[in-house]
Structure 1
Amino acid sequence: MEMSFVGRRVSRVLLGAALVVSGAGCAAQPGEHAAAAAGRSDVTGGRGTVVSVTPVVSMSRSQVRDYLGDEGLTSPPPRSGVSGFRVVYRTVSATGRPTVASGVVVLPSDTAGTVRAVSFTHGTHAGRSTAGSVAADGQSRIAAIYYATAGYAGVAPDYLGLGEGPGAHPYLDAASEASASLDMLRAARAVAARQGRGLERRVLVTGFSQGGQAAMALGRRLQSGTDSYLRLGALAPISGTYDLRRAQLPESLRARGSLDPRVSAFNLAYATVSWNRLHHLYKAPSEVFQAPYDTTVERLFDGSHDESDIFPQLPASPDRLVTQRYLRRLDHPSGALLRAIRAADGTCDWAPSVPTRLYGASGDEQVTFGNTRNCVRALRAHGTRPQVVDYGTGTGTDHFATLHRALPDTLRWFQTQT
């Protein structure tokens, strides 16, 4: 539940210095391919069927080294050049209707044969143009390139309604995160085959923040055998929002709590607007948002605004954003609000049968580490004993630092999983 790869777009407004990305990429107009695909009568096939493939990155190993080096991702050193593609594919909406979504697939170009996929599910994006399939500096594109240069297939979905996907993004809806991510992996198999490559059966799954939640949901789907070929190989989510009801929301709303109140206001606004679209929380925005935000918040989260646009138009804390009545509802959710929260929670309520490691930091100022503690507790209740990496408190333990530290750590750990 954050803004970009390392806060780059918001840093100029709020969060301070960020890591700057330079690299190749050609961004289409958001929604261009999706709109075309939706209107084409010759687009046939089931979920995961590829609609379009567009090359977006081609780098030699030295170019990858420079690209990732600008991010501070210097270890392990790149092993291969990469070729990456924007993929538009068929999937289903949050209500189960046919739609299309997009994502990025990056393959190592200096090796041949079959490769193992790493699925990386990204953190919060409000603007569709910041997704990795269209943004050269997108969080998930950077991650996909990082894993690909190590010899894996980097597979990164945009989710619904971001990148080239039509409609609004159903923020924090775990079921659609999982379905879009699984269908992206299916599409990635087809893309790899077009490049003369195969994908191994077992998928390594990771993701950050909102994507940590998505990774848990995807892992469960893969383990269940929903796909006839793909299976879960290992699971390593990072700083996930696994428990809104008992961890994230209470800490976000607590006076003088440990989380950044401005970020909490952003996340609450985004979630509330998105939940209303799916679960009908209110008839008029004034029922939940204070003036003047009741007249502006919904349009801010229409997919055309990124975080640098949104933050200056929101208040400094949740209590200045929403009504006292809505705060009471959040404390004791019921009805539509409870259904919306339950649609986000529960992603840890199962027993992974593969190696599982959760990364996070007690000092995280955006996603409370209570999410990870509660996830571990739920997994253990099902008989699983996950490993936990807590980066602690102090310097280098803020939210984006956990991603920056965990990318190399997950890669090294994945390399031990045979």
Structure 2
Amino acid sequence: MQAKKFLQLLPFLFLSLLWISCSDDNVEPGFDHVLSYELVETISKGEINQRFNNDPLVSGFINFDVEAYKVTYLTPNYDGTEVEASGLVLIPQVEGAVKLTSFQHSTLAKSNDPQIDQEHRAPSYLSSENAEIYLSAVLYASNGYLISSADYIGYGSTSEMFHPYEHAQTAATTCFDMLLATKELAESLSVNMTDELFLIGYSQGGNSTMALHKYIEENHAAEFPITRSAMGAGAYHKSAVGDYIFNFQGDLGFSISLYLWVLDSYDRIYLQKGIPYYLNEPYASEVVDNGYFAISSSNPQEVFTDTFIDDINDPNSDFRDALADNDIHDWKAIAPIKLYHSLEDKLVPYFNSADAFDNMTDKGSTEILLETYTYNSSVEPDAIHGAGGARFFSDVISVYFKYGI
């Protein structure tokens, strides 16, 4: 969820980001999904190597130049209205076939405070400040994965809109429609693709990847059979997360802001009660006036109203129903899934992946794997979530996507 932690841990090994703008509107007659596309950069193997400081451990994965496109397409918002969303497509320049891959990004803060706001790090900007895209996604593309990465609603071409944070249905349809647009663009450019489909994401990206995998298998399995999915540290069990966060006694040890964002998203989509229903003063005014990241307490018993805490503990409340509607830890998957999570992760608790592993296995899923990361005292507790992200992207490209283990 907290991409900033992840970005702080990965090295910023780059010279400069080149913006090479080609045509502004290349829409071809007959496109069903692509509204517009623009080649924004061609990234050479040499440039990618430079981003990783010519590290020999990385250079073996850098095999192809990469063309980067910004794409716009239509997708439904949480209220059902169609919006013109955007995303990034990374196409390896190979003579053979590429592997279609949906890459879901982690949390990017939205705030009126320019020191906090991370709009410019959305995938389609190809910002050097977003190591997850600038380094990891580009590395995967250079290794032969054709990357489809939605900005999500609330970023890129929809930057003025509210981002429905970790709303499973919206995340799934936004990423799936981006996948349709990516495939259509690749076909129009005569890109040869294998019949494989890979899904990957960490933190919020892990949550979005699980939602996407479930959506595809329930609605488009014949059209898009999934090869395998890798999901890191996602909050899949929202009902349990609600119990953990909102009933926590004392200081959480990290900002409560991201959980306020989830709360506000579910309120807008399901309940429409407004922030003052959930938060005591002065915290309600802090959030209403200055956004989630302005809240001055991380003690849930101080922040949340008694009425809301009663809702959390009432199994029949509307808010419990909203949480349950976004539980994506308990279903039968056909294609293989590997979960990754740090045991000591406090920001997104480990039980999310453990519960998904247990419940999905019990439901008869074909193959669910779980890799548990552990850390000693050399890693600060608030850095563990980000440290897990760095390991995740390395492990998936070098082992799981390659060998399935």
Fold-level similarity (TM above 0.5)? yes
What aligned pairs does 1:154-169 form with structure 2 within 5 A after superposition?
154-165=147-158, 167-169=161-163
**Corresponding position: 1:274 with 2:255:** no
Partner of 1:150: 143
* Deviation (angstroms), 1:198: 3.2
The equivalent of 1:305 in structure 2 is: none
Compute the displacement of 1:158 (Å): 1.7
Name the structure 2 match of 1:416: 403
**Partner residue of 1:95?**
79
Partner of 1:207: 201
Deviation per residue, 1:375-407 (Å, 9 max, x gap): 011111111341111012324581111110011
Partner of 2:120: 129
Stretch of structure 1 that moved more, 287-296 or 331-340: 331-340
Q: 2:310 aligns with which of 322, 328, 331?
A: 328
**Aligned with 2:172 (options 154, 171, 178):** 178
Between the aligned partners of 2:65 and 2:188, the Cα distance in structure 1 is: 18
1:238 correspondence with 2:232: yes
**Aligned residues: percent identity?**
21
Which letter does structure 1 place at the counterpart of 2:186? A
| Secondary structure, counterpart of 1:319 in structure 2 | helix
Match of 1:115 in 2: 98
Give the CA deviation at 1:131: 1.4
Say if 1:403 and 1:75 are closer, same or farther in 2 by CA, change over 3 A.
farther
Aligned-pair CA distance for 1:149: 1.1
Structure 1: 5+ residue stretches without partners: 9-16, 302-309
Distance 1:299 1:135, change over 3 A: farther
Aligned to 1:356: 337
CA shift, 1:228, in A, is 5.5
Deviation for aligned residue 1:174: 0.5
Shift of 1:73: 8.1
Cα pair 1:115 1:151 within 8 Å, conserved: yes
Inter-partner Cα distance in structure 1 for 2:73 and 2:135: 21
Q: For residues 219 and 285 of structure 1, do their structure 2 counterparts lie closer, same or farther at Cα, with a shift above 3 Å needed? A: closer
Matches within 5 A, 1:8-407: 8=8, 19-20=11-12, 22=14, 23-24=16-17, 26=19, 49-69=33-53, 74=58, 76-109=60-93, 111-127=94-110, 128-136=119-127, 137-138=129-130, 139-165=132-158, 167-226=161-220, 229-247=223-241, 249-251=243-245, 253-255=247-249, 261-263=253-255, 265-282=256-273, 284-298=274-288, 300-301=290-291, 311-332=293-314, 334-345=316-327, 347-384=328-365, 385-394=367-376, 395=378, 398-407=384-393
Contact 2:5 2:385 in 1 (8 A): no
Superposed structure 1 runs of 4+ greater than 6 Å apart:
42-45, 70-73
Q: 1: CA distance between counterparts of 2:84 and 2:218?
A: 24
Secondary structure of residue in 2 paired with 1:351: coil
- 2: CA distance, partners of 1:71 / 1:398: 24
Q: Report what 1:4 is aligned to.
A: 4
Q: Tell me, in whole angstroms, the C-alpha distance in 2 between the residues paired with 1:331 and 1:88.
A: 42
Secondary structure at the aligned position of 1:164 is classed as helix
Structure 2 counterpart of 1:399, one-letter code: H
The alignment covers a number of residue pairs equal to: 385
> What RMSD, in angstroms, separates the aligned Cα atoms of the two structures?
3.2
Name the SS for the 2:227 alignment partner.
Answer: strand
Q: TM-score, normalization: structure 1? A: 0.82
Q: Is the 8 A contact 1:201 1:229 kept in 2?
A: no
Q: Distance in 2 between matches of 1:364 and 1:232?
A: 29
* Superimposed CA distance per residue, residues 116-139 of structure 1 (whole angstroms, 9 cap, x where no aligned partner): 122121222232333111251333
Q: CA offset at residue 84 of structure 1?
A: 1.0
Distance 1:135 1:81 in 2: 15
Distance 1:268 1:147, change over 3 A: same
- Contact 1:118-1:147 at 8 Å conserved across structures: no
Secondary structure of residue in 2 paired with 1:87: strand
Query: Could you tell me whether the CA contact under 8 Å between 2:49 and 2:62 is conserved in 1?
Result: yes
